[in-house]
Structure 1
Amino acid sequence: MGRPDKPVDCTIPARAKLAVFLRARKTAAGLTYDQMAHLVSGAPSKATFERAASGSCVPSWETVYVFVIVTKTEEEEFTGRLDFAIDSAMELWLDARRATRAPYYLHAAPDPDLIGSLADLSRGLRDLHVWVGYPTPGEMERMCGPGELPRSTTRRIIQGRTLPASPEQAIAFLNACYVGPIGVELWLAAAARAFKHDRPYYPETYSWVKAHAKARNQNQEATSDQPFDSAA
């Protein structure tokens, strides 16, 4: 038996909710922090796991993800609900990051369907960056491949001084903001719409239209490849 946990630090409610979620998983799995660290060969360490569930800080997503995986239950494995637990953890983690990092308040995630101009697109990307917890340019650069999203470029994008230089750079930015394939398609549609509105005769506009079409086709193919459930 490990020693009892200290009370969750409730100074920042969103951070506390994440900690409560993680502690509940640890309790359900019947594990101590020592045992959890042993299962992953000390990476993350016992202290890192314990700190993640303390409410005193926002842990890295990598730590939260491993915490959820290590505390998975047999029911989650057999029912496929582990993905739901990961999604719930991501939502709580983003809420906690937003509560502790964001320079201004957003009531909801920006809606790419409302973007009609390049100015709208610039503001939308900045708001998206805030919505996902204001990751640093360095963090975003490390989430992408070499040279895909230089931190200097990211800094200018989140300052509203420039737009992504290409659809590929926009996709890297979106991926670093934890946007999934469907979301990427919607944002590329918004970018194509904005470029067609403001720069209809520029050669670069076609590249955005083409990138959106490619993303749409990839999502359609992914959907069609899913097995058909006759019971649905």
Structure 2
Amino acid sequence: MARPEQPVSTSNPGLAKLAEWLRAHRRAAGLTHREMAERSGYDFSATTYSRAASGNQVPRLPVVEAYARTCGAPVGQARRLWQAARYAEHRRRYPRAGVPRPDRVYDRDGLNRALQELYYKAGAIPVDEMERRAGAHGELPHSTVLRMLSGKSMFELPQLVAFLRVCDVTDGVEWGRWRSAWHRAHRHREVERMARRLARLHEASARSRRSARDQDPAHRSPATPAEPRSLPYPSVGLAMPRNRPTGDGRPPP
């Protein structure tokens, strides 16, 4: 007989809800963890299934999905509970601060911050797992996701569509908001690129004009005139005119 499970004890309410949900469906299916491992083709061990429902930590998404499938439980609901548990864990570590809604996004930075928030709400799936779930090869490269998460680049529209799909955004109205946000950010990015291009052209033109002016003799600065050379002051007095009278009125001898 399997040992009874310990009560769920965690400060993460989302994790507690997930663990209790998994346990309830296992009991409803009448399975032990060992039988679950056998039924699932040993994709995961009995110990892994037991830990997934322990409530000690948030399990990996593939384990939660396999757990639900093996017990005949709705996989989509299991995934949503897992996402809520992961998001609660993330928010406890990083309190929410200044994340714009899609309809308040106007540039690349705002779009990336909003998508980063969506990523954590979706459970912060490992990026290589996101690439696998996106389906077609290269549709959502994990390196592209990493650059977006670090704020270094912006998704192209097909990548955004794949990202939303992996993050379980299925509502048509929500899809429209994200696409509109992307188009606003894209236009802003193109305006910035054009401004930088014009600035480079202006600087190149200014350098060319300065170079041409420096090479044109008509625009060269006039040479500084040489200072006049001073003549030596005579050290001997000038001879007096011979016919100049002396002080007593008599001509000089």
Alpha-carbon distance between aligned partners in 1 of 2:153 and 2:140, rounded to the nearest angstrom: 13
**Number of the residue aligned with 1:91:** 80
Note the C-alpha offset of 1:60: 2.0
CA distance in 2: counterparts of 1:45 and 1:180, whole angstroms = 32
Going from structure 1 to structure 2, the CA distance change for 1:168 and 1:181 (only over 3 Å counts) comes to: farther
The CA distance in 2 between the partners of 1:93 and 1:198, in whole Å, is 35
SS of aligned partner of 1:36: helix
Deviations 1:41-74 (A, max 9, x none): 22222111111100112222222122222222xx
Deviation at 1:112, TM superposition (A): 2.3
Q: Does the CA contact (< 8 Å) of 2:100 and 2:113 recur in 1? A: no
In structure 2, what is the equivalent of residue 175 of structure 1? 165
Q: Which amino acid aligns with 2:22?
A: L
Counterpart CA distance in 1 for 2:102 and 2:62 is 28
In structure 2, the partner of 1:153 is 144
Question: C-alpha displacement at 1:172, in angstroms?
Answer: 2.5
Please name the residue that 2:109 is paired with.
119
Deviations 1:151-207 (A, max 9, x none): 33222211222111x21122222233333363444422321243346647x9xxxxx
Amino acid at match of 1:136: P
More helix by share: 1
Which of these residues, 176, 183, 190, is aligned with residue 181 of structure 2?
190
Shift of 1:89: 1.9
Of the structure 1 ranges 44-53 and 111-120, higher mean CA displacement relative to structure 2 is found in: 111-120
Q: Structure 1 residue 93: deviation in Å?
A: 0.4
Q: TM-score, normalised by structure 1?
A: 0.68
Range that drifts further, 5-14 or 121-130: 5-14
Q: Which runs of 5+ in 2 are unaligned?
A: 194-253
Amino acid at match of 2:158: E
Between the aligned partners of 1:129 and 1:9, the Cα distance in structure 2 is 27
SS in 1 for 2:154: coil
Q: CA deviation at 1:14?
A: 2.2
* CA shift for structure 1 position 24: 1.0
Q: Which amino acid aligns with 2:82?
A: W
Name stretches of at least 5 consecutive residues in structure 1 with no aligned partner. 73-81, 203-232
Distance apart, 1:13 and its partner CA: 2.9
Superposed CA RMSD? 2.9
Rounded to whole Å, the distance in 1 between the matches of 2:40 and 2:123 is 27
- How much identity, in percent, do the aligned residues show? 36
Give how far 1:37 is off.
1.7
Q: For the residues of structure 1 that align with 2:41 and 2:129, how far apart are their CA atoms?
A: 25
Moved over 6 A (4+): none
User: How far did 1:120 drift?
Assistant: 2.5
Q: What TM-score do you get using the length of structure 2 for normalisation?
A: 0.63
Letter in 1 for 2:17: K
Give the Å deviation of 1:140.
2.5
**2: CA distance, partners of 1:114 / 1:90:** 28
What is the number of residues matched between the two proteins? 189
For the pair 1:27 / 2:27, whether they are aligned, the reply is yes
The reply to whether residue 49 of structure 1 matches residue 40 of structure 2 is: no
